[in-house]
Chains A and B, each alone.
Chain A
């Protein structure tokens, strides 16, 4: 057996902690450490909830004050409040006419219990004082905000100088604005988003009411769906990078840790 000469500045063998092989943590200690980290994370999340929870709601509000426009567009799915808001804006002089999308009928309409939504919307507008000749129907089976954006684009392309205001719930404005920009591009500069009055919940306290709990998380999920479904290649690329980066980083740290914990193996040179 030969012994290699060590460098002069190397500490003698067997005299210091530098020579002791690294002891891996026992399984119990590893689980305790993980539990500790999880508890700390949950505590941090709980203590900072007053910051991120309201932000999760308020970030969905992309509305702005009204601007004089040719049309106010009543997006479907909010017949209890959007037509009333549109009628008010017309009455105050903010818009001249109203555009209503024809909505794909839900079961209670196909069962003929209720009239179609665009018929109800038109009736509300007339009862609220909007002259019937100023109410225009955008024909087609509009089943989503994307469909409505396509129809509005067609209207604005026919009238290059026209401006429009879209009336919808404040929680919906972020997604509506995003899809309008996706569909219309620069033409979307002629579209303004005006929020209906807050009802059922407040965006900065959305988690305290059933409606807020429904709408805020679902709007985030729908927005994510829209980004992937209707978004352009950049959105896809960013998404793929994020999806791939998380497991890659996790794998990197896992392998590094595994290699550090591996016991030293004697080697004969």
Chain B
């Protein structure tokens, strides 16, 4: 009797098994295509992170409006949402922070962020004295959260140090988880009795339930995951380096390239 290695041809049973697997995979592919919305919604869920506040509105002490651009609040409908919340809590103060100082404000093309907010909230029934700007280092939410906590510490008298202060911050729906990460980090370093409730605002063009249907939605989802991954992997944030002033661009290009007449 001789032995020889078995030839590479699959036996009938293996072929049959392959056909069965192929059919199963094809059915799964059809199911995925048919129910793709379910999967895509699940894909965006980690970004949104159930941003509704669990605390009743009557107990809100501060309403925090951030700006990523230095000219307008972040989050579609943030001003309406803030106004509605304020009317449910007339004693609440509205805090403003901004990630950058805008050149558009510096050259006088647009009003400053606090001026814009006061201008917009005035007709919505909110007096200017209820609105406060909290100065924060430029660089993003990490610095703004800490600046807000420092402000709250300065506003809390020692006899009230045991009372929990409730803050609601509005922002974009798809940046909710990254923001929550920064909030948790800052609160872990602070001994102040503060609860910061995050409210992600749905963009009028797309939401977590249909983000894939628009280019803006796809971009928001992509940016959301990039921002979340960056926040997870970078416990400390760098400060923004000084930028060129509006009048320094000409010198910048002159030094690099001169002028065509030279």
Contacts and interface: CB of A to CB of B under 8 A. Distances in A.
Do A and B assemble together? yes
B260 A128 contact: no
Interface stretch (A35-43, A78-86, A241-249): A78-86
Contact of B252 (A68, A115, A197, A266): A197
Interface in B104-135: 104, 107-110, 116, 120
Interface in A68-120: 68, 79-81, 84-85, 87-89, 91-94, 107-108, 110-111, 113-115, 120
A200 to B, nearest CB: 7
Contacts of A55: none
A113 B203 CA distance: 15
A88 B250 contact: yes
Interface string A205-227: 00011100110011001000000
A196 to B, nearest CB: 8
A124 B107 contact: yes
A48 interface: no
Given A65-B257, A128-B107, A267 B2 contact: yes
A120 B215 contact: no
B259 interface: yes
Nearest to B247: A128
B200 interface: no
Nearest to A104: B216
B220 to A, nearest CB: 11
A208 B238 contact: yes
A94 B260 contact: yes
Contacts of A65: 256-257
Contacts of A209: 238
Interface stretch (A134-142, A181-189, A257-265): A257-265
B254 A214 contact: no
B93 interface: no
A250 to B, nearest CB: 16
A218 B223 contact: yes
Interface string A147-181: 00000000000000000000000000000000000
Contacts of A22: 5
Contact of A221 (B2, B222, B237, B260): B222
Most chain A CB within a 10 A radius of its CB, from B104, B204, B237: B104
A80 B103 CA distance: 6
A107 B103 CA distance: 21
A66 interface: yes
A190 interface: no
A197 B249 contact: yes
Contact of A88 (B4, B140, B249): B249
Interface stretch (B46-54, B71-79, B147-155): B71-79
B246 A128 contact: yes
B65 to A, nearest CB: 12
A197 B244 contact: yes
Contacts of A93: 259-261
A216 to B, nearest CB: 9
B2 A269 contact: yes
Contacts of A66: 253, 257, 260
A144 B215 contact: yes
Contacts of A210: 139-140, 227, 230, 234, 237
Interface string B75-92: 011010000000000000
Chain A to chain B: the 7 pairs with minimum beta-carbon distance, closest first: A88-B249, A107-B76, A213-B230, A88-B250, A92-B259, A108-B72, A265-B6
25 contacts: A1-B1, A21-B3, A65-B257, A80-B103, A85-B249, A87-B250, A88-B252, A92-B250, A92-B260, A94-B257, A107-B77, A114-B71, A114-B110, A120-B104, A124-B109, A128-B246, A197-B244, A199-B244, A208-B238, A210-B139, A210-B140, A210-B234, A214-B230, A262-B5, A265-B3
Interface of A: 1, 3-4, 21-22, 65-66, 68, 79-81, 84-85, 87-89, 91-94, 107-108, 110-111, 113-115, 120, 123-124, 127-128, 143-144, 197, 199-200, 208-210, 213-214, 217-218, 221, 255, 259, 262-269
